[in-house]
Structure 1
Amino acid sequence: MARYVTSRLLQALFIVAAITLGVFMILRVTAGDPARVRAPVFASQDVIDQYRADFGTDRSIPAQLGSFVEGVAHGDLGDSFRFQKPVTELIATALPRTLQLALLALLMSVAVAVTLGVLAARYPGSPWDWLASAIAAIGQSAPVFWVGLLLSTYLAVKLGLFPAGGYRGFSSLVLPAVTAALSIVPTELRVLRESMRSTLRQEYVRAARANGVPEWKITFKYALRNASLPLLTVIGVDVGYLLGGVIVAEVVFNFPGIGQMALVGLNARDYPLVQGITIVTASVFVLVNLAIDLLYTVVDPRIRLETT
């Protein structure tokens, strides 16, 4: 186990480094000049040159890369061009809100997938099966931003049940979380439903019924545990989609999280801020996938993790 975890952590470090390097190069090739964005409209060339010197963008790309790598090695992600604050401080403020939102969205999607997936598998052709198919179809076809605008218009603006934007505690998380959850629940729901249907047809399930084991125990203790392995795999993949959905939801609901901050950073050509957010989100993604791999051994002790 220890060798496997060490190997995966080294792989994760390589992946995060490759992604960060890619973002570093893309920003400098295609994002434009942050000095011109920051400077006044009719600023002189001397003013623009001074901004470039302050930002460090007047140096060569290899020199900028060397300074960036050295800073990351010491836990310093640089100072934001836009906010004039350390990037670590800005991320430390916004990241907990985004993690709360992402975790709530994930819990919502898993709760819906497990509940409807089990009911649809147990009662094929029933209203539960129809409802599961309808939710999967809607979630698969409806754009995240459209769902967010719809929920904001009717549940927040017209009915006043939730805040329309900003961050005012738990109530501000509900609508963005529902919006983000709907983007990943279709895959989870379909996978669990099919996995449960296949599991319920297994011989050991028939044997348990023949021996008088209660149906609820067969469903939740035996069948659901085995059927949840494919769901764990899907959740690992869906984390990436969820992060994308959270970013869109944050923009729609003006939620002060990492996604909203990333949009501001991109518009301002704020290299350090975008790079810092990239490192953090990539790290979260690979660590969640590592945690899910380790959960396999908890759900099914027959699985053994080995290094390749």
Structure 2
Amino acid sequence: MRSFVLRRILQSVIIVVAIAVTVFIVLRLSAGDPARIRAPVFARPDVIEQYRRDFGIDRPLFEQLLTFLGSAVRGDFGQSFRFQAPVTDLIMVALPKTLLLAGVSLLLSLSIAVVLGSLAALKPRSGWAWMSSALAAFGQSAPVFWSGAVLVLVFAVGLRWLPSGGFSGFASLILPAIAVTLSILPTQLRVLRTSMEAVLQQEYIKTAKAFGLNQNRIIFVYALKNACLPLLTVIGVDVGYLLGGVIVAEVVFAFPGIGELALVALNARDYPLIQGITIVTAATFVIVNLLIDLLYVKVDPRIRLERT
């Protein structure tokens, strides 16, 4: 068990470092001269040269990379061009809002998937099964930016029940959370339903029924626990789609999270801020997948026996 955990942690660290190096090199190749981006339009050559020294880009690329990685390990991603503030401070203001929106969306999607997927598996010819298929098909075909725009038109502009954007409390989370939930729900719903149908056909479930155990106990204690195991794997894969959907939703709803901050950084060619956002987002994705792997090992002892 310990060797598996250490191996997964080491893999996660290597992935984050590789992403940081890739982002650093790509931005240096594509973003242009940072000194000219930051300097006034008609700056003299000596002023531009001073900016290069201030940013440290007058040194060899490899030395710049080592300096950047050393600072990033300490949580220092430099100074934002656009906001004239430390990148870390800007990210730490926006990141909690993004994680809150992602957490609410994931909790909502899992709740719907477990309840509706279980009912559809138990009653495959009922209205629950039809609703499950219809909701999965709709979510699969409705991108976040489209469903977000429709939600704003109906509930914010038309009915005026909810705010159309910004962040002013729990009500501001409802529409973007629904839009993100619709984007990640189809996979979870299908996997849970299929897994539940397979578990209900297992011999131990039939044996439990034959011994006269309570129906609810069979479903919620024995069947649902095993049916949810594939859902853990799906959640790990869905984290990327979840973060992507949250970023799009933040732009659509003007939600002050990482997505809106990233859009401002891209428009301003603020490459220190772009670097910081990309690395923090990637690290979040890697950490969540690491936690899911460890949880999977805890829930299913067979994984521990096979991988350690």
TM interval, shorter chain, is over 0.9
Q: 1:74 to 1:159 in 2, by over 3 A?
A: same
Paired with 1:36 and 1:151, the residues of 2 have a C-alpha distance of: 42
Q: Residues 269-284 of structure 1 correspond to what in structure 2 (within 5 A)? A: 269-284=269-284
Paired with 1:145 and 1:85, the residues of 2 have a C-alpha distance of: 30
SS of the aligned residue for 1:92 comes to helix
Question: Gaps (5+ residues) in structure 1?
Answer: none
1:68 aligns with 2:68: yes
Match of 1:24 in 2: 24
Q: 1:43 to 1:282 in 2, by over 3 A?
A: same
Match of 1:43 in 2: 42
RMSD between aligned residues: 1.9
1:101 aligns with 2:108: no
Please report how far the alpha carbon of residue 159 of structure 1 lies from its aligned counterpart in structure 2 after TM superposition. 1.5
Deviations 1:253-304 (A, max 9, x none): 1111111111211222222211111221122111111211222244334442
Please report how far the alpha carbon of residue 48 of structure 1 lies from its aligned counterpart in structure 2 after TM superposition. 5.0
Paired with 1:10 and 1:110, the residues of 2 have a C-alpha distance of: 29
Match of 1:122 in 2: 122
Deviations 1:153-204 (A, max 9, x none): 1111222222111111211111111111111111000001000000011111
SS of the aligned residue for 2:166 comes to coil
Please report how far the alpha carbon of residue 240 of structure 1 lies from its aligned counterpart in structure 2 after TM superposition. 0.8
Paired with 1:268 and 1:36, the residues of 2 have a C-alpha distance of: 13
Paired with 1:9 and 1:76, the residues of 2 have a C-alpha distance of: 22
Paired with 1:50 and 1:155, the residues of 2 have a C-alpha distance of: 53
Q: Residues 70-89 of structure 1 correspond to what in structure 2 (within 5 A)? A: 70-89=70-89
Paired with 1:163 and 1:201, the residues of 2 have a C-alpha distance of: 46
Match of 1:139 in 2: 139
Match of 1:289 in 2: 289
Paired with 2:59 and 2:153, the residues of 1 have a C-alpha distance of: 48
Q: Residues 247-258 of structure 1 correspond to what in structure 2 (within 5 A)? A: 247-258=247-258
Please report how far the alpha carbon of residue 148 of structure 1 lies from its aligned counterpart in structure 2 after TM superposition. 0.8
Please report how far the alpha carbon of residue 111 of structure 1 lies from its aligned counterpart in structure 2 after TM superposition. 0.8
With normalisation by structure 1, the TM-score equals: 0.93
Contact 1:239 1:285 in 2 (8 A): yes
Paired with 2:296 and 2:305, the residues of 1 have a C-alpha distance of: 9
Please report how far the alpha carbon of residue 60 of structure 1 lies from its aligned counterpart in structure 2 after TM superposition. 4.0
Q: 1:69 to 1:141 in 2, by over 3 A?
A: same
Q: 1:222 to 1:17 in 2, by over 3 A?
A: same
Between 13-22 and 262-271, report the one with greater CA deviation. Answer: 262-271
% identical aligned pairs: 62
Question: Gaps (5+ residues) in structure 2?
Answer: none
1:230 aligns with 2:230: yes
Match of 2:244 in 1: 244
Paired with 1:298 and 1:271, the residues of 2 have a C-alpha distance of: 40
Paired with 1:56 and 1:305, the residues of 2 have a C-alpha distance of: 50
SS of the aligned residue for 1:280 comes to helix
Paired with 2:108 and 2:153, the residues of 1 have a C-alpha distance of: 21
Paired with 1:86 and 1:293, the residues of 2 have a C-alpha distance of: 34
Paired with 2:303 and 2:15, the residues of 1 have a C-alpha distance of: 25
